[in-house]
């Protein structure tokens, strides 16, 4: 049985959309029947609102974002019967809690590290074969997808994607790590873990997308 890490944008797991949270819970149960499963949840718009109100220290802003992501993770775990009800707060706790049987759901771990990076750290720790990034866009594009003429990229190397994102002038600010950040891509490269990018707003489609490998973009290490 292969091991899968599913990264879910915090936009899709929040107290403002219970049906979507419940939809993800059903999706996790379906995936668990075929994969050993760990899940990492972002902070989303709730985290960004708290971060806006926080003191100027980026470290403190990160801490607030981490706490919100853990609450989102706990919320999802409560809706998912096969999930552990304890949210790990460190890499060592991830190792202690991981058994390959129950679904392990994780939020943020430490300041300066996006939940995209956390997903790759978790993937390293549990020996994952693949990270699936269920995000707010359906794929990686050759320029910001909001711009006219943006073209979908089917496959791209992690190092090439890092250069592409730098050309977009996206900044790694707390709560605004966008599609992927440099730390996540570096971990993917060193551990040879591929990342599949898909749109996460329709959780009921994710099991078939994974089964058919119908990725928006596949990021190769």
What is the DSSP annotation of 41-107?
Answer: E--HHHHHHHHHHS-S-HHHHHHHHHHHHHHHHHHHHHH-TTB-S----SHHHHHHH--SSSBEEE-
CA 118 to chain centre: 8
| CB of 24 closer than 8 Å to CB of 55 | no
- State residue 43's pLDDT score: 94
- State residue 102's pLDDT score: 98
State the binding site for UMP.
43, 62, 109-115
- State residue 221's pLDDT score: 94
> Hey, which residues does 85 pair with through a beta bridge?
none
Q: Which residues of 19-37 are buried (b: 16+ CB within 10 A; e: fewer)?
A: ebbebbbebbbbbbeebbb
- State residue 26's pLDDT score: 98
Q: What is the mean pLDDT of each run of 10 residues along the chain (221 residues)?
A: 97 89 98 98 91 88 95 97 98 97 98 94 98 95 86 96 80 59 93 97 98 98 94
State in words which class domain 3-220 has.
Answer: alpha beta
- State residue 155's pLDDT score: 98
Q: Which two tokens stand for residue 189?
A: 């490269």
State the binding site.
7-11, 43-44, 48, 62, 109-115, 135, 141
C-alpha 102/C-alpha 195 separation (Å) is: 22
- State residue 164's pLDDT score: 87
Assign 3-state DSSP to the chain and report helix, strand, coil percentages, each to 5. 45, 20, 35
Closest CA to 110 of 54, 58, 39: 58
State the binding site for ATP.
7-11, 44, 48, 135, 141
At 198, give phi and psi (nearest 5°).
-140, 165
Closest CA to 107 of 38, 153, 171: 38
How many angstroms separate the first and last alpha carbons of the chain? 22
């Amino acid at each position: 049985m292969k091991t899968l890490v599913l990264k879910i944008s915090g936009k899709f797991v929040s107290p403002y959309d219970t049906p979507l949270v419940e939809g993800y819970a059903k999706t996790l149960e379906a995936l668990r029947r075929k994969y050993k499963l760990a899940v990492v949840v972002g902070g989303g718009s709730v985290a960004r609102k708290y971060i806006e109100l926080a003191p100027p220290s980026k470290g403190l802003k990160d801490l607030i974002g981490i706490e919100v992501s853990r609450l989102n993770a706990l919320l999802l775990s409560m809706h998912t019967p096969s999930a552990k009800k304890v949210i790990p707060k460190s890499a060592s706790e991830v190792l202690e809690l991981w058994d390959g049987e129950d679904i392990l759901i994780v939020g943020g771990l430490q300041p300066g590290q996006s939940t995209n990076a956390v997903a790759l750290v978790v993937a390293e720790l549990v020996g994952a074969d693949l990270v699936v990034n269920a995000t707010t866009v359906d794929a990686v594009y050759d320029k910001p997808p909001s711009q006219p003429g943006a073209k979908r990229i089917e496959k791209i190397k992690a190092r090439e994607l890092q250069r592409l994102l730098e050309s977009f002038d996206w900044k790694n600010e707390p709560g605004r790590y966008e599609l992927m950040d440099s730390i996540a891509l570096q971990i993917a490269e060193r551990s040879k873990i591929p990342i599949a990018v898909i749109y996460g707003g329709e959780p009921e489609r994710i099991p078939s997308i994974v089964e058919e490998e119908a990725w928006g973009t596949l990021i190769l290490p």
